[in-house]
């Protein structure tokens, strides 16, 4: 059993040592909680749980504390994919829900599994997800400052359970001050993809990740016989051709865990029940 999670990027030049330590501690705690949850639950349920914990922590740009778009409104996107069934469900630009990932998970039972905007919100309300403002005090001022330094962030989780099943989930609050209606990579197969061989979640600039088809490429290459390390390396070499800004985490069916970024440092943590690896 393995779990790896990510929480966007960290820059020494515009974030303090205290923020770095806070994110390290947070990611380590969430990875441990998620691994404990994985003991008695599927990879599919676990990645949703892990991402919900990341959404609930205002250190990250997902759920509570999400970025604000150019018209002053928070719109969030999230997706989940089951490697065994190869089905993905998601929400795009949903407003005023606490955990977009749980709405995405709820949609897995539907024939129409990816909903956007007002339709996603209506579905959430009809299925017991109440109204919840994810904006926290001072967020507008904070994100105006972050925008000047180009901060980017998304959260995600990949898990391998005791039955050898893989799953992935990804959630984002956007890039901040974007044109309303802009769609990120997080609820697409470019940013969130899994099958029986590999599962990958991305963070970074959504347009670059979509242009590179990052998650889908890595998973397909592992499926076709490349090692997970080689699949990551080849895909990130192609990302360089467009000067793409991205990070990715993944696990293959053999339990190999891998992560890579094009512009350090992606914040991540992994745990296998014995050893932690946390960004430094």
Three-state secondary structure call for residue 204? strand
Distances (CA, A) of 214 to 79, 101, 179, 227, 250: 15, 21, 23, 16, 11
**211 appears as a binding residue in the annotation:** no
Phi and psi dihedrals of 209, rounded to 5? -65, -40
**261 appears as a binding residue in the annotation:** no
Q: What span, in angstroms and rounded, lies between the C-alpha atoms of 9 and 3?
A: 19
**64 appears as a binding residue in the annotation:** no
**185 appears as a binding residue in the annotation:** yes
**184 appears as a binding residue in the annotation:** yes
Q: Is 188 a catalytic residue?
A: no
Phi and psi dihedrals of 222, rounded to 5? -65, -40
Strand partners, 3: 159, 271
**206 appears as a binding residue in the annotation:** yes
Residue count of the chain: 280
**116 appears as a binding residue in the annotation:** no
Distances (CA, A) of 89 to 77, 161, 218: 11, 20, 20
**83 appears as a binding residue in the annotation:** no
Which member of 46, 85, 149, 154 is catalytic? 154
Residue positions forming the annotated binding site: 182-185, 203-206
- Residues acting as catalytic residues: 154
Binding residues for substrate: 182-185, 203-206
């Amino acid at each position: 059993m393995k779990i790896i999670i990510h929480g966007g990027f960290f820059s020494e030049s515009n974030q303090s040592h205290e923020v770095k330590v806070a994110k390290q501690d947070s990611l380590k705690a969430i990875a441990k909680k998620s691994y404990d949850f994985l003991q008695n639950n599927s990879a599919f349920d676990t990645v949703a749980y892990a991402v919900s914990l990341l959404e609930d922590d205002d250190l990250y740009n997902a759920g509570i504390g999400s970025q604000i778009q150019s018209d002053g409104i928070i719109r969030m996107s999230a997706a989940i994919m089951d490697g065994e069934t190869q089905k993905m469900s998601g929400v795009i630009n949903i407003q005023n829900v606490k955990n977009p990932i749980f709405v995405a998970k709820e949609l897995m039972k539907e024939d129409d599994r990816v909903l956007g905007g007002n339709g996603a919100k209506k579905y959430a309300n009809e299925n017991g997800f109440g109204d919840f403002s994810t904006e926290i005090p001072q967020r507008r001022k904070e994100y105006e400052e972050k925008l000047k330094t180009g901060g980017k962030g998304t959260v995600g989780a990949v898990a391998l359970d005791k039955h050898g099943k893989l799953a992935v989930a990804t959630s984002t609050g956007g890039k901040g001050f974007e044109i309303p209606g802009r769609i990120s990579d997080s609820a697409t197969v470019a940013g969130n993809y899994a099958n029986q061989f590999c599962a990958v979640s991305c963070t970074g600039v959504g347009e670059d990740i979509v242009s590179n088809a990052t998650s889908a490429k890595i998973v397909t290459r592992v499926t076709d016989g490349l090692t997970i390390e080689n699949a990551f390396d080849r895909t990130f070499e192609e990302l360089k051709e467009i000067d793409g800004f991205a990070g990715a985490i993944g696990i293959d069916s053999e339990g190999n865990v891998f992560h890579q970024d094009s512009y350090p440092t992606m914040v991540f943590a992994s745990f296998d029940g014995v050893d932690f690896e946390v960004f430094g």
